[in-house]
């Protein structure tokens, strides 16, 4: 998986609780991305980063925030989880135009 790890790999949480997902890369790539994947929707971009402390919103950013304090780590936070945020979350890194994906985190909000 191109030197990308995600943690946790599975998480069950209750509505209203905060949740943080971590993406860690060992490739020293500048670009990092968070996607969610839901049946029938493919992958949708939540947030992305183009450098340390440089982040921006994607297509479905409402209810999510991100932080990148080091090149290798990109954190996705759900401030107050809702059932609609039950999904599989993928982190990706970008070198040129290709992206390389982590193994995913399956999040269930009950």
- Contacts to other proteins by CB under 8 A: 1, 4, 31, 33, 35, 40-45, 48, 50, 56, 58-59, 90, 92, 94, 96-104
Minimum CB–partner distance for residue 69 and other proteins (Å): 18
Nearer to other proteins, 18 or 60 (CB): 60
Angle (CA) 5-66-42 rounded to 5° is 65
Q: How far is the CB of 15 from other proteins (least distance, A)?
A: 26
Is-cis flag, bond preceding 8, omega within 30? yes
Q: Decide: 61 and 47 in contact? Cβ < 8 Å.
A: yes
């Amino acid at each position: 998986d191109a030197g990308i790890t995600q943690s946790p790999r599975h998480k069950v949480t209750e509505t209203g609780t905060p949740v943080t997902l971590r993406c860690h890369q060992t490739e020293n790539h500048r670009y990092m991305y968070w996607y969610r994947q839901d049946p029938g929707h493919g992958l949708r971009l939540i947030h992305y980063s183009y450098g340390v402390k440089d982040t921006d919103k994607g297509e479905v950013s409402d209810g999510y925030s991100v932080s990148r304090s080091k090149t290798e780590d990109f954190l996705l936070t759900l401030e107050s989880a809702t059932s609609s945020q039950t999904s599989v979350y993928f982190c990706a890194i970008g070198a040129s135009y290709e992206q390389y994906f982590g193994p995913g985190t399956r999040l269930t909000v009950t």
